[in-house]
Structure 1
Amino acid sequence: MSNKPKSLPVLQERVDDLPVLIAQLREMGVPELFNQAFKIHRNWSGLSFGHLVSAWLVFVVSESNHRLSHLQPWAEQRLHTLQTSFGVALVATDFTDDRLAQALRYLSDDAGWQRFEDLLNQRLIRVYDLTGNTIRLDSTTAKSYGTITPDGFLQLGHSKDHRPDLPQLKINLSTLDPLGLPLTVTVTNGACADDPLYVPEIERVRATLQRRGLLFVGDCKMAARATRVNVAAGGD
């Protein structure tokens, strides 16, 4: 009988920041909340929609790369790390271009995003005991070299980047003080004025926090009469 020790297979993977990012997503409940918020077809198989999108987010943050075609080879080199960190079974074919394209179609549902924001905010505020009543509202623009289409987000408008020749989109954001926690975000076309964006954002904040008596803070464009009337009438 041979006493020669048996050779053991050695698996080598780059861990990088993956365990930290995945642990944070799991603590926030992101994979489960994605599954709850978006209505996924019953024929979806393999890795769940929520875990697929969460792994994609980890890839984007870790690699600073959002390209669909780069996710599968990246995941294939880190399958053990991803599987252990997420606590679910997965294979490289869970991250194909086709599945990501299908996930993007689900993610384009505005109602699903609003449900996800509400669920995530309610969870974070409950878990971390975030009871602040001060909400900051502001908007910004992002210019692009993309093509302008009649119904698209990219439109010519007042440019804060001093590039009126480039189309832009507008992003409206609400955050909870003092942490600066993002609560809601709305993307509109770049030709839209700031004034009419405040009331819809305020209504979304009220819906996600489920309380009144809030202090809304914004710049001078928030002083429009319609906005002030809405804030006062809502008990804030």
Structure 2
Amino acid sequence: MSKSVALTTERVDDIPLLLAQLKRMGVQELLDEHFPTHGNWQGLSLGNVVVVWLCHILSQADHCLSHVQNWVEKRLESIEVSLDEDLRALDMSDDRLESVLRYLSKDSSWSSFEQDLNQRHIQVYDLSPKRVRLDSTSVSGFWEENKAGLFQRGYSKDHRPDLPQLKVMLATLDPLGLPIASEIVPGNCADDPLYEPAVHQVRQTLEKTGLLYVGDSKMGSLRTRHVIESGGDYYLCPLAKTQVCAEQLQQYLLPVQEGKVTLETVNYKYANGKIEEIAQGYERAHSCKFKQDGQEFIWEERRLVVYSIVHATSQKKAL
């Protein structure tokens, strides 16, 4: 007499691929190492819970806590086999995920985890970092303003000054775009002070000097440039009027007007193969001085005086 066989049908989708990639990156191991849980924690470890949650977010493009448990219930066998761990749907309840977020909110633990994770990326993919891009942005939403929290009203790049916001500072490898360091601060913070901590985080992660830091004009404060230069690195950024006043700019333009310098042409090759002149300019040296704790630091800076053809054309039209 033949025995009846119970068959379970599940949609595998991209789950094995995502879990295998997260395992290769060592996400679960590093999370369990840097975020130890309370002795009463039972079931799947915090690292494995986060890995499954990340898999859900990437697979379903859905970050809602309340949807994860139902999604896991329909894929228990697939996830168990991929994790090689016993799994219950309750391990992914919204209460458990909320507890995970509380553990991950510890800044000191997150910073050390981020450094170890990025160092593993560098080793796994054999990257040779040379350039780092720094930039900050604001994220606004329909939140309640909290005077002691992240959600504050400040200068809104979304043109929504009526909404509370938070700010995110990100450092990425160029041209790969791999995030190396991140920091989340209240939305009423200024952008300028965020660059120095980001530089220190990158240095702790990459453990390498001689990098070129690329940023916007807010990275051009004298203190930030000193931090980068004193650490054996380089910087590239436009200087705002607070760094180069109108009188100093006229001094830079005077040799051009008198024909005492030879301008170099800057050409750009477009995707269609067309090469077009986009700018002209010349380079000059400038001695920078920065005082800190009674000490004076001096270094030579290369300043590029550039005439952008597109920018000049737009200004003429506006005039």
Aligned partner (choices 16, 24, 28) of residue 25 of structure 2? 28
Aligned to 1:97: 94
How much is the aligned-residue C-alpha RMSD, in angstroms?
Answer: 1.3
Aligned to 2:230: 233
Q: Larger RCO: Structure 1 or Structure 2 (Cα < 8 Å, ≥ 6 residues apart)?
A: 1
Q: Does 1:147 align with 2:155?
A: no
Q: Indicate conservation of the 8 Å contact 1:132/1:178, yes or no.
A: no
TM score, norm. by length of structure 2 = 0.71
In 1, Cα distance between equivalents of 2:55 and 2:22: 9
TM score, norm. by length of structure 1 = 0.94
Aligned to 2:240: none
Aligned residue pairs total: 233
Aligned to 2:180: 183
Aligned to 2:117: 120
- Find runs of 4+ consecutive structure 1 residues off by over 3 angstroms: none
Deviations along 1:205-229, one digit per CA (max 9) or x if unpaired, are: 1011112111111011111000001
Report deviation, 1:82: 0.5
Gaps (5+ residues) in structure 1? none
Aligned to 1:65: 62
Q: Does 1:43 align with 2:40?
A: yes
- Out of 77-86 and 5-14, give the one that drifted further: 5-14
Kindly indicate which of the two structures has a greater share of residues assigned to strand. 2
Letter in 1 for 2:213: F
Identical aligned pairs, as a percentage? Answer: 51
Report deviation, 1:196: 0.6
Letter in 2 for 1:93: L
Letter in 2 for 1:217: V
Q: SS in structure 2 opposite 1:129?
A: coil
Aligned to 2:158: 161
Aligned to 2:308: none
In 2, Cα distance between equivalents of 1:79 and 1:148: 40
Report deviation, 1:153: 1.2
Kindly indicate which of the two structures has a greater share of residues assigned to helix. 1
In 2, Cα distance between equivalents of 1:209 and 1:181: 12
Report deviation, 1:173: 0.3
Deviations along 1:128-169, one digit per CA (max 9) or x if unpaired, are: 101112110001111111111111211111111111222211
Gaps (5+ residues) in structure 2? 234-319
In 1, Cα distance between equivalents of 2:229 and 2:151: 34
